[in-house]
Structure 1
Amino acid sequence: MLTSMRNAFERIRWTQFSDHVVVFVFASSLYAAVLYNAGFHTPFLRALLGLVILLAIGFYGYLSRAEWRTAILAIAFVAVVLVSYGFLREFSYDGLNYHGAVALALDQQTTGVIGAHEISGMFWAEHYPKAFEFFAYTAHVLTTRFNSGKSFTLLLSVPTLVCLAQVFRSAGHSGRTALAAAVVCVYNPVALGQITTLYVDAAHYYCWTIFSVNLLFAVWKRPYSAVQLGASLVLLIGSKMTGPVFAGISILVIFAAALVAQTRHGFLRSHRKVFGQLAVWSVVAVLIVGYSPYMQNVLAGKHVFYPILGKEKLDILSRQASPHFLSMNPLHRLVLSYFSLPSNCTYCAGAEPTFVPSKEHLRAAFVALHTADTRFSGFGPFFGAMLVLGVIAMFGRKKDANIVKIYLLTTLVIVLLHPQSWWARYVPMLYAAPLLAAAGFSNSRRIFYAIIALGLLNSLLAAASVAGYIMLKQAHYINAVASVHDMCEQRPLTLPPSIMNWQFDLRDDNFHMTRNGAPPEAECAVNFDQLMIMKK
């Protein structure tokens, strides 16, 4: 039995499997983006658009000569992940605020059923890129559950795993060792904290990784996936405002390195295919998936990255740590953060890194790892040791690892240029830097294995923290839902004004929300914010 399963998995074309997953996420995002940006809300237009995208996917499968085992496994993987996520519930602050707002707003527009509840977070939803929020709506259409929309992080983790394993293999490591290193990089504490939420930082990092690795392979004349290169670029630009900057840095660093190492005569001609792909997919990213907010900002006379930049920019970081900490230079903040204990805060205006390993601080550090946006030392307690080993490894004299070295250089340029690189959620790619340094510069297997072991310890601690939190919160939510059922029975719910869009969860449990114009006697008022408060 085990032998037959292993033989079956050996026949799977993992690059093609990754192609299918990335295409599904991209197509799902594209579908809802067109609905949102073009105003296609009638049933006919929605059905026509869906049919066109399905035909395009089928045509792509025909052109790519999709291997049937690989295609079936990819479809099964996507289906299982979508359905499974439908049974989870969203509890994160940003997830139940502006990340979930897009799917709720699109549902209102397409169904024509306007609820009596104002959707919270719409300002940020309208002015932030929302590729994965678009995906969340399409997932809801496919499964009838809003929470299925959280699956984009787990789905994209597999193509990222395949890409990073190829990078480590290019440095001479065995398949198993390369896979172990890739697992450490992909399922880092930031990703594990966000993998059950609507937060997009980890998925954004996955898109950057898929894009950068395929671009690197393309420029260095290695086998690469053109569809992954293009689709991940669209998702990268369309998911966060750092996307265009990250993509630009990757393009500049990789082509600059190639210009130094390769023959300059005919350089542009030899890479014209890649330049053409980047141009076409960038247009799709900005004019279709990213029309809101990029083009809307420009047409409204605002900065293209409003509300983050421009004359009317809004300050969203001054309350995330103490003024003393934020006044330090970026490198100083980075070192203090990652060599401290993991810690988070509710009211963060005076927050500082913690260094004393007292019993209370260690307990708080473990609890902090479950959050989607841990402030200090968000990569776990052993990441500082990983950094030290990575620096030691860079004094090695290993040759013939150019792919890893250029990828590491791209990573470090992004981290050093990012003004908030002390906050792990903004630079998840930094977690891979120690492993890349060891793979690219050192011949010592012990250093490489030690970094892998420390990374796995961080991930195990984060996974345990996340699992404990989810079990406690899910059990508390089930009890709250049971009490609402007893109190309201079949009457539609009326929720008080709240920053949390609880209808995102409650509608997945078959509750009906009050509609505009409904008679007051038919309503059931519920303060779900109060019901979801957990006592320590």
Structure 2
Amino acid sequence: MLAVFSLISGSILLSLMFFMLLFASLGFVVGMPITTVTIWLSLVCTLVYGFMVTKFYFKQETWQLFAKLCLLITLSFLSFMYISGLFYDISYDGQVYHQEAVGQLAHGWNPFQDYLTKDRSHSAVLLNHYAKGPWIYEAVLYSATGQIEQSKVFNFLLIIISFLLTLSSMKQCHRFSVKQAVIFSLLMALNPISIYQALSFYIDGQLASLLLCLVALSYRLITQYDRVIVCSFIMSIALTVNIKFTGVVYVIACVGLAGGWLWLLKKKHLYANLAKTSIIGLFIGICVIGYNPYVTNIVYYGHPFYPLYGAGPKTMDIMTSNSPQGFMQMNSLEKLYVASFSMSTNNFDREEPVLKIPFTVRPQEFKPFVYGADIRIGGFGPWFSGMLLLAGLTLLLILIFPTKDGLYGIGLVVSIMISVLINPESWWARYVPQFWLMPISIAAVAATEAKKVIRYLGVTLTGAVIINLALITYPYILGNYYCTQSLDHQLQEIAKRGETIQVCFGDFTSNYARFAKWGIDYVDARDDIADINIEEIRYKYLTAVFQEPLLSDIFVDERMDKHE
């Protein structure tokens, strides 16, 4: 019952995002921009889909269960939408181009037919050529509510979806108790990347959640091939490939690895099911929803991942300036080791990574998680290195005392690591969010092993995961709260002037929405004649946390350059 109920709930929530993306894209094809019609059409189709899914599994109590599901889903969505709206996105990329893209789409930009120029957006190259999935469904919601910050709700929504679908799969395999299934599903869904990007418009957390959905649905697809699971798998693929370019690579890797294990297990009769479902999902995701950028990039620039590839001497290099000191001379495995076993930090351009003793935490390691979003070194948390050591020891014992189920779990771990290592920049946590699943998968396998020592190690590893998440979540929530309070105060003071303000927005043009929300009459001006510079406002709220009692201890003698 729990497996089916969680599958239905996750599938319905997934369909809401899928329909938003599909109808917005079809509208672009016929020249219709995003309007409130898009969200109402998506809601109607989601309700119809939800009723059909519920009826498929529960023919006798369809209306009662469907009504309860609708109530639960609505309350969850509205609650997290409200929470999202309480916080400003304080991240750099979130304000420079992610929110900019959402605003452009909500205000009439049709990426299928309209090529942005530099005079319309400072980030025109990225907006024109990057995958647009999150921007589109966030813009659909923004067009309906008028509150752009509430569109961050999809970060939370995907965490919930990934939890539900993973719970469904763990219960379906009949190996875990309800308590174990809930705990491990929750720990997998609460990926650190998803946590410290939840209050921003960054998209890697959404990719983390969708990759977990794909893993969970791959298992369901192999063990129970029915129309609901097929639809959910197709929607997951279509959404994943439209998150970012690496989504395409990871989907192909997931499908390929699943097919490889089917071959090893001599279950070749399941190939066709997996293959045709994956092809449908990829076609919808790349050729229909992802017409821009994938098809347009190929047609006009010769490569689907332009401008990161295929631009010749003009190829965009985003790694050299973002790599920590010394990393350009290391191979991918060396970089992954250093990034995983060093102190958590984002001062990548000022100091080299510092290796540390696992399970130790220094106060300065909390600093990067105060702001979150794109932590370079130790991006999975201060205790992640210790988790890896415990996971390695547990895995060794599972291999010494092998069981059939244990070997299946090892197969999953190997698959995860293959998907991580195919990325040459696997050192950067947000580029390989699936790495988080590796130690938790080992803990889950250990929880049901016969040997007490393996079970005890699994429990210890699970405890370490929980503590690691707490070490990340505490500074992130407090940091974003204090920054939001400071920004609110600054905007309130500007609004009190009651006059037209000359503002230098620079690259932070998404802040137009914040000024409009406060009813501030402004004119975009050059820095030399502006009354206010957004960089100054940003400096004030980023440094506001230095004086807050609950965080001040980790910012002792801290200084931040005004242009950082």
TM-score, normalised by the number of residues in structure 2 = 0.82
- Aligned equivalents of 1:290, 1:168: Cα separation in 2: 32
Letter in 2 for 1:496: C
Q: Show the counterpart of 2:203.
A: 200
State whether structure 2 residue 103 is matched by structure 1 residue 109. Answer: no
Secondary structure, counterpart of 1:439 in structure 2: helix
Alpha-carbon spacing, 1:259–1:12, altered in 2? closer, same or farther (3 Å): closer
Q: Show the counterpart of 2:415.
A: 410
- Aligned equivalents of 1:324, 1:394: Cα separation in 2: 31
Give the conservation status (yes or no) of the 8 Å contact 1:337–1:422.
Answer: yes
Taking the TM superposition and a 5 Å limit, the aligned residue runs for 1:23-172 are: 23-36=15-28, 38-41=30-33, 46=35, 52-64=41-53, 65=55, 67-109=66-108, 118-169=120-171, 170=173, 172=175
State whether structure 2 residue 534 is matched by structure 1 residue 528. Answer: yes
- Aligned equivalents of 1:94, 1:63: Cα separation in 2: 40
CA drift of 1:515 comes to 9.4
Letter in 2 for 1:272: A
Give the conservation status (yes or no) of the 8 Å contact 1:171–1:440.
Answer: no
Letter in 2 for 1:39: G
Q: Show the counterpart of 1:315.
A: 317
CA drift of 1:72 comes to 1.8
Alpha-carbon spacing, 1:164–1:210, altered in 2? closer, same or farther (3 Å): same
Q: Show the counterpart of 2:395.
A: 394
Secondary structure, counterpart of 2:122 in structure 1: coil
- 1:125-162, Cα deviation, whole Å (9 max, x unpaired): 22110101111101112222111111111101112112
- Aligned equivalents of 2:519, 2:455: Cα separation in 1: 54
Give the conservation status (yes or no) of the 8 Å contact 1:168–1:439.
Answer: no
Give the conservation status (yes or no) of the 8 Å contact 1:415–1:427.
Answer: yes
Letter in 2 for 1:95: G
Match of 1:244 among 233, 241, 248: 248
Q: Show the counterpart of 1:354.
A: 354
Q: Show the counterpart of 1:378.
A: 379
CA drift of 1:50 comes to 5.2
Q: Show the counterpart of 1:5.
A: none
Give the conservation status (yes or no) of the 8 Å contact 1:146–1:508.
Answer: no
Alpha-carbon spacing, 1:323–1:472, altered in 2? closer, same or farther (3 Å): closer
- Aligned equivalents of 2:119, 2:303: Cα separation in 1: 31
- Aligned equivalents of 2:2, 2:412: Cα separation in 1: 28
Q: Show the counterpart of 1:421.
A: 426
- 1:246-285, Cα deviation, whole Å (9 max, x unpaired): 0001111101111221344xx2xx5534433222221211
Alpha-carbon spacing, 1:321–1:138, altered in 2? closer, same or farther (3 Å): same
State whether structure 2 residue 368 is matched by structure 1 residue 368. Answer: yes
CA drift of 1:479 comes to 1.3
Taking the TM superposition and a 5 Å limit, the aligned residue runs for 1:364-513 are: 364-370=364-370, 371-395=372-396, 396=398, 397-401=402-406, 404-440=409-445, 443=450, 444-489=454-499, 491=500, 494-500=502-508, 501-511=510-520
Alpha-carbon spacing, 1:509–1:450, altered in 2? closer, same or farther (3 Å): farther
CA drift of 1:405 comes to 3.7
- 1:14-37, Cα deviation, whole Å (9 max, x unpaired): 221111211112222334434456
CA drift of 1:425 comes to 0.9
Query: Which segments of 5 or more consecutive residues in structure 2 lack a partner in the other structure?
Result: 56-61, 111-115, 547-564
- Give the root-mean-square deviation of aligned CA atoms: 3.0
- Aligned equivalents of 1:263, 1:478: Cα separation in 2: 59
Give the conservation status (yes or no) of the 8 Å contact 1:337–1:376.
Answer: yes
How many residue pairs match? The answer is: 506
CA drift of 1:90 comes to 1.3
Alpha-carbon spacing, 1:48–1:320, altered in 2? closer, same or farther (3 Å): closer
State whether structure 2 residue 181 is matched by structure 1 residue 178. Answer: yes
Give the conservation status (yes or no) of the 8 Å contact 1:337–1:353.
Answer: yes
CA drift of 1:510 comes to 4.2
Identity over aligned pairs, percent: 18
Q: Show the counterpart of 1:16.
A: 8
Secondary structure, counterpart of 2:159 in structure 1: helix
- 1:172-203, Cα deviation, whole Å (9 max, x unpaired): 23221232222222223222110111111011
- Aligned equivalents of 2:211, 2:379: Cα separation in 1: 19
Alpha-carbon spacing, 1:50–1:481, altered in 2? closer, same or farther (3 Å): closer
- 1:38-86, Cα deviation, whole Å (9 max, x unpaired): 5313xxx946655654443343234222622112211221122223322
- Which stretch shifts more, 87-96 or 51-60? 51-60
Secondary structure, counterpart of 2:504 in structure 1: coil
Q: Show the counterpart of 1:209.
A: 212
Letter in 1 for 2:192: P
Give the conservation status (yes or no) of the 8 Å contact 1:153–1:203.
Answer: yes
CA drift of 1:422 comes to 1.0
- Aligned equivalents of 1:180, 1:11: Cα separation in 2: 15
- 1:205-224, Cα deviation, whole Å (9 max, x unpaired): 11111122212321244777
- Aligned equivalents of 1:463, 1:31: Cα separation in 2: 35
Query: Which segments of 5 or more consecutive residues in structure 1 lack a partner in the other structure?
Result: 1-8, 517-522
- Aligned equivalents of 2:369, 2:39: Cα separation in 1: 39
Give the conservation status (yes or no) of the 8 Å contact 1:386–1:455.
Answer: yes
Letter in 1 for 2:477: A
Letter in 1 for 2:125: F
- Aligned equivalents of 2:119, 2:470: Cα separation in 1: 40
Match of 2:233 among 212, 216, 229: 229
- Aligned equivalents of 1:453, 1:465: Cα separation in 2: 19
Q: Show the counterpart of 1:3.
A: none
